[in-house]
């Protein structure tokens, strides 16, 4: 979401090949985790181009994998990440409110 003080623009980036659930099996080599979808991360980076500041939120580890990818492969976007927060499946309205509160607090700290 691109969030401005008085406007919100939502876009959805979907992976080309949605991940199937991967389960570890006894006696099988591998982590039981799906490999990172680098094409998906590049698509996210493309969607974020033009953003002045980026707050990455979400549950679990995916947000950290995204940031790692951005810093390695799309540093011009990765350098705009100003915060990483764990949030467990917020609604769109909750996400917008959280982001606005985050950026107001960040701006007040820098002032």
**Length, in residues, of the chain:** 111
Contacts with 88 (C-beta within 8 Å, 6 or more apart), sequence order? 59
Q: What SS3 class is residue 85?
A: strand
Q: What is the pLDDT of residue 17?
A: 72
Average pLDDT over residues 66-92: 93
Angle of helix 62-73 versus helix 38-48 axis, rounded to 10: 80
Q: Supply the pLDDT for residue 44.
A: 93
pLDDT 10s digits, 50-64: 999 999 998 888 899
Give me the domains of the chain, ranges plus CATH numbers.
33-110 (3.30.420.60)
- Contact status, residue 91 vs residue 98, Cβ threshold 8 Å: no
What percentage of the chain has pLDDT greater than the value 90? 52
Tally the C-alpha atoms within 13 A of residue 15's C-alpha that lie toward its C-beta: 10
- Predicted confidence at residue 84, as pLDDT, reads 93
Contact 48, 80 (CB under 8 A): yes
User: What pLDDT is recorded for position 79?
Assistant: 96
């Amino acid at each position: 979401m691109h969030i401005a003080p008085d406007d919100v623009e939502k876009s959805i980036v979907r992976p080309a090949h949605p991940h199937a659930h991967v389960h570890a099996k006894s006696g099988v080599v591998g982590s039981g985790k799906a490999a990172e979808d680098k094409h998906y991360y590049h698509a996210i980076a493309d969607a974020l181009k033009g953003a002045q500041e980026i707050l990455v939120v979400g549950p679990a580890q995916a947000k950290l994998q995204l940031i790692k990818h951005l810093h390695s492969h799309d540093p011009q976007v990765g350098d705009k990440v100003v915060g990483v927060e764990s949030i467990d499946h917020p609604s769109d309205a909750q996400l917008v409110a959280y982001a606005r509160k985050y950026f107001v607090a960040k701006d007040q700290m820098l002032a």
